[in-house]
Amino acid sequence: MNSKEIIDAFAYVANEKSIDKMNLTAIIEDIFTTLIEKKYGEENAEKFSVIVNMDRGEIEIFQEKNVVEKIEDPLNEILLKDALKIDSTMTVGEICIDIIDPGDFGRRLINTAKHHLLNKIKDVEKKSVYDEFYNKVDEIYTGYVHQIQRNRIFISDENKNELILPKAGQIPNDRYRRGQQVRGLIKKVESSIKGLEIILSRTDNNFLKRLFELEVPEIDDGIIEIKAISRVPGERSKVVVYSSDRRIDAVGACVGMKGNRIQSIVRELNGEKIDIINWNEKPEILITRSLAPANPVNLLIDEEKPYAVAIFEDDDIAIAIGSNGQNIKLASDVTNYTIDVIKKSEYENNQEIDINDIDGLTDKMVNLLSDNDIKTSKDFLSIEREKLLGFKGLGEKTLDKITEIIREAVSKE
């Protein structure tokens, strides 16, 4: 077989596998280097070089040989008279570059090389698929259910690449059937002895984030930013959003006209309830919004810890906590505050501090409160503001100061 026949045979196999010219060139060079090592020994391989020209259909193999008058090492030496046929300027002791005919390797070795080619092509294919999907990590990908197992689902794409959706990545109320189209987030790509594993997830927070980016153009344009996401997959999510353009309502844009945008996401997540929260730099506002649908009557916040206690009407406490503690957990996640909730009645029962024992209240303030039959912090906090302002000598500024002092004392208590 001449060089062109060898390249044509290799190119036919490569074309079947969609291997490009550059990769095929590197593979052929590598294969012939291996053939040289087998035929001439690894210790002599460094004296050979292989150059493949796909356009001209040529494989050139060069060997460095020492020019001698008498051959003692036939593999690495060449007679002067033969060297002069290659280069008329050669002299004894110089290095002559001899050209090896690829056909000298014989048909058997060439066929072995074709088997090596198939293995090399498989490696290139694996590397190509790995690179393709590695660059798509954290992106949404679509495929079709191929095989359903108890703890995972195998999904194939249009190029017959296999992806895995493990049980942990499935939304609990997901139901699958063969041939069904499935969307998921490419969570990770791993190459191991078992082969290439492309792992999908539908429960990851970033899956919800990417769905919002697909449905809400303002997010993709950078006008609206998703500040935080927390999920109980398939049941409830909270998403904190912020608009850099005051003219655009972040929550409204995410909901869409007649709720079309958010409903599209909810359908993808099989009815998962999604609370969209307008971000605010003030923790008391952000925490209050994040606790929806419950509305606290008061908040006690320690920004250093960070920690917050939300006080609710007794009838609202179950809503505030949510099913299996979901609402309070999700609110804590998206605000980065540890949030505890307490009934208003319990809170008020813990406010029995004698006003004479509260640091910060002046004698004048204490007397003013005592004259109006207010003996404890609980007495004060249980009276409506309008009624307090009706007390003689108690103006708005004084009332605000007394309220701040008493609330701080109760909070510390």
Residues 38 and 112 in one domain: yes
Residues 210, 197 within the same domain? no
Among 201, 232, 254, the domain-final residue is 201
Q: What's the token pair of residue 250?
A: 């972040």
- The reply to whether 334 falls in a domain is no
pLDDT of residue 413: 66
| Boundary-marking domain end, from 256, 279, 302 | 279
Tell me, what's the pLDDT at 196?
85
In a domain, 298, yes or no: no
Shared domain for 169 and 237, answered yes or no, is no
Whether residues 179 and 262 share a domain: the answer is no
Structure confidence by residue, pLDDT tens digits, 23-80? 778 878 888 888 888 888 888 888 999 888 877 778 888 999 999 999 999 889 999 9
For residues 397 and 383, give the distance between their C-alpha atoms in angstroms, rounded to a whole number.
Answer: 17
Q: Provide the CATH number for the domain around residue 183.
A: 2.40.50.140
Q: Are 32 and 83 in the same domain?
A: yes
Same domain? 192 vs 213: no
The domain spanning residue 244 has which CATH number?
3.30.300.20
What residues make up the domain containing 210? 204-279
Beta bridge partners of 282: none
Query: Which residues have a Cβ under 8 Å from the Cβ of 91 and sit 6 or more positions away?
Result: 67, 80
Say which CATH number the domain at 374 has.
Answer: 1.10.150
The answer to whether residue 121 is domain-embedded is: yes
| Cα–Cα–Cα angle for 303, 304, 306, rounded to 5 degrees | 60
Phi, psi of 197 (to 5 degrees): -120, 120
The answer to whether 128 and 97 are in contact (CB under 8 A) is no
The verdict on 126 and 10 lying in the same domain is yes
Q: Is there a single domain that holds both residue 21 and residue 81?
A: yes
Q: How far apart are CA 261 and CA 247, in angstroms?
A: 19
- Count: domains in the chain: 4
Instruction: Tell whether 22 is covered by a domain.
Output: yes
Report the DSSP beta bridge partners of residue 195: 192
C-alpha 378 chain-centroid distance: 50
Give the model's pLDDT for residue 309: 92
- Residues 68 and 252: their CA atoms lie apart, in Å, by 88
Residues 169 and 92 in one domain: no
Query: Is residue 175 in some structural domain?
Result: yes
Do 140 and 215 belong together in one domain?
no
> Is residue 331 in some structural domain?
no
Kindly report the CA angle at 48 between 42 and 49, in degrees rounded to 5? 125
Query: Of 131, 147, 162, which closes a domain?
Result: 131
* 165 in the same domain as 235: no
Buried residues in 246-280 as b, exposed as e (16+ CB within 10 A): eeeebbebbbeeeeebbeebbebbeebebbbbbbe
Residues of the chain with pLDDT under 50: none
Q: Is residue 54 assigned to a domain?
A: yes
Which of these, 94, 114, 90, 91, lies nearest to 35 by C-alpha position?
Answer: 114
pLDDT for 338: 95
- How is residue 255 written in tokens? 């909901």
- Do residues 223 and 269 both lie within one domain? yes
Answer whether residue 305 is part of any domain.
no
